[in-house]
Amino acid sequence: MTIFNRNLRTRSKRTSHFALAIALATGTAVAAVGVAEPAYAQKKKKQAQAEYSKEYVAAFQPVQEAMSAEGDLAALKPQIEGLIAMASTPDEKLTAGQVAVNAGSKLNDADLQLAGLASMLESGKTAAEDVGKYNFFAYQLANQKSQFDRARTYLQGAIDANYTFTGQLSDGSTKNFTTDDLRLMMFESYISENQIQPGFDYLNGVIAERQAAGQQVSDTWIRRGLSVAINNSLNSEMDRYATLYVTEYPGEASWRDAVATIYNRGGLQPDAVLDLLRLARRTDALQNALMYGEYIDSADPRKLPQEVVTLIDEAYASGMVDRSDGYMKDARELAAGRVQMDKNDLPSLERDARAGSASLRTVVAAADTFLSYGQYAKAEEFYQKALGMPGADTPMVLTRLGIAQTELGKHDEAQETFTKVQGARQAVARLWAAYASEQAPATTAAVTGG
């Protein structure tokens, strides 16, 4: 997802499907469950823990005998289903489930296997070490049958049991799956059923839990969430996951993706695009001539000539823009021709903006000019002044005030300023806030000699 156009590709692909053979360790012979008349007859004397009714034992014995004799399992299916239906005690549910799973595995009958697993789990007597595994197998079977609500219930059971396993991917390779992978499967379950917002409600919830615990959020969760948000044109989720990506995993790749995501979702005015691309420049996220061209158009060689000249020179040095590019050449010549005149006007512009009678337009123009020239203290002063004037474009002024504060090393103040930005610019401000936060530790280390 490192291209810059309105047909944005996503970097992350949907989690690979995998296949696991269902092979439950319940014993190959039903006799292993030990439900025989002698055991029942001795129950009262030995005070055995197992509890079976006479009716259940009577129904169970023929099934046990037929399976031990390797009879026609398909013909036994109605009896096994009846056994599950009549099972009422935990021991009955457990043994009926074991029979159903064994028979279902041999018959390759998913319905019977799922019924058996459900009975075993409902019994409450499944060995603790098997609870996660059996829940996961039940999830797979229910999911294959498009019983999504039921599948998610079992998947949550596997997550609660901290189930992990090694699974085979569709390309034949293997992967060690963790509960983080299972949580992503839960998200995918909602998405596959086209329950997009409930899916995000779930994923946002587990991310919030992870953050509340002071732990890093899985990058796979973030990248998949961003991918789904882009594919479904969910602006609020795009903004959330783009910001989360650079917050949790700052770096050139994440910044490129985050900037491209916010740009390509649209809805930004040229002045907001300018501030977004200013951030891209600082995070090495300007990745091609198109982005440089967008930056130049937004800045305007006539309004911010020094910034445009500097930008184009950087583009040439990066090798992303050829010096023979006619548009770049013309833009640089236009901007360069205005720089000295612009600099000559700075003292009078500063004086006019400080006057008590200064208009909003003059104050904002001064702030924008000094920001462009890197004179951030003066830019901060004039943006602060503009905020108190009627008719100010508050989201724009706040964004640029935060930028000036960031450049001045006032990272805490900048983050507070960015949080006040509302409307279409909020996504840009959030990314700038993440950048200000990222820069703060480096500044602290430099000051303290760390």
CATH number at residue 408: 1.25.40.10
**246 and 278 belong to one structural domain:** no
Q: Is 51 left (phi over 0), alpha (psi -120 to 50) or beta?
A: beta
**217 and 359 belong to one structural domain:** no
Would 110 be classed as within a structural domain?
Answer: yes
**387 and 313 belong to one structural domain:** yes
**256 and 293 belong to one structural domain:** no
Q: In total, how many domains does the chain have?
A: 3
> pLDDT (tens digit, 9 = 90+) per residue, 378-407?
999 999 999 999 999 999 999 999 999 999
**243 and 364 belong to one structural domain:** no
Model pTM score? 0.82
> pLDDT (tens digit, 9 = 90+) per residue, 294-338?
999 999 999 999 999 999 999 999 999 999 999 999 999 999 999
Quote the domain boundaries for residue 238.
1-17+170-266
**344 and 412 belong to one structural domain:** yes
**127 and 80 belong to one structural domain:** yes
Would 82 be classed as within a structural domain?
Answer: yes
Instruction: Check: CB of residue 397 under 8 Å from CB of residue 387.
Output: yes
Q: At which residue do the structure tokens 């000559």 appear?
A: 344
Last residue within a domain, chosen from 86, 109, 144:
144
Q: Which residue has the higher pLDDT, 15 or 419?
A: 419
pLDDT for position 64: 86
**250 and 286 belong to one structural domain:** no
**375 and 433 belong to one structural domain:** yes
Last residue within a domain, chosen from 107, 127, 144:
144
Would 282 be classed as within a structural domain?
Answer: yes
**393 and 281 belong to one structural domain:** yes
Would 154 be classed as within a structural domain?
Answer: no
**224 and 300 belong to one structural domain:** no
d(CA 82, CA 66): 15
Kind plus residue range of the DSSP H or E element containing 175: strand 174-177
Closest CA to 30 of 54, 76, 65: 65
As a whole number, the mean pLDDT across the chain is 87
pLDDT for position 302: 94
SS3 content of the chain, % helix, strand, coil (to 5): 70, 0, 25
d(CA 348, CA 242): 42
Residue 277 pLDDT more than 70? yes
d(CA 115, CA 100): 7
Amino acid at 69: A
The pLDDT confidence band at residue 69, using thresholds 50, 70 and 90, is confident
Q: What residues pair up with 165 in beta bridges, in sequence order?
A: 177
Residues 6+ apart with CB under 8 A from 441: none
Average pLDDT over residues 88-109: 93
> pLDDT (tens digit, 9 = 90+) per residue, 234-269?
999 999 999 999 999 999 999 999 999 999 988 999
Q: 376-387 vs 360-372: helix axis angle to the nearest 10?
A: 160
Closest CA to 156 of 107, 127, 189, 125: 189
> pLDDT (tens digit, 9 = 90+) per residue, 141-186?
999 999 999 999 999 999 999 999 998 888 889 999 999 999 999 9
**315 and 365 belong to one structural domain:** yes
Tokens of 384: 């602060």
